[in-house]
Amino acid sequence: MHVIGCRTSLQAGQIAAAEGVSGLVLHARTADQQYSPPCHWDALAQLVAAVPGVPVIGNGDVYEAADVISMMRQTGCKGVRGQGICLRLCLGRQALTACGCRWQLRG
């Protein structure tokens, strides 16, 4: 699937990586979509592949702990953010637990 705007995000990501950016966040929808589904996780995966060594945070269509895990596995992104996570802060903990990861809060 070709996503309009994907080429722009790839080019911008590669330029930022070349300039030494420490990380990138991609909301994988087009401007015309705003918050309408679907989120284009394939575009996120393309960005991850285009900027090796730069951690990419994915955003979009994350409403449950399973979505966090799926996004990270399908795209290779190093982290996830999204409206669903902001509204339900327990999702991060649930995702880590589901992956078998050990975690603890730091104060």
Q: How far apart are CA 71 and CA 58, in angstroms?
A: 7
Calpha distance 47→30 (Å, rounded): 14
Note the pTM of the prediction, 2 decimals: 0.73
pLDDT of 31 above 50? yes
pLDDT of residue 77 exceeding 60, the answer is yes
Would you state the pLDDT for residue 3?
Answer: 42
Q: Which residues lie below 8 Å from residue 48, measured CB to CB, with a gap of 6+? A: 56, 75, 76, 77
Q: Which residues of 82-97 are buried (b: 16+ CB within 10 A; e: fewer)?
A: bebbeeeeebbeebee
- Mean of the pLDDT values across residues 81-85? 68
Torsion of CA 26, 27, 33, 37, to 10 degrees: 120
The proportion of the chain whose per-residue pLDDT surpasses 70, expressed as a percent, equals 63
Q: Quick one: average pLDDT of 29-51?
A: 81
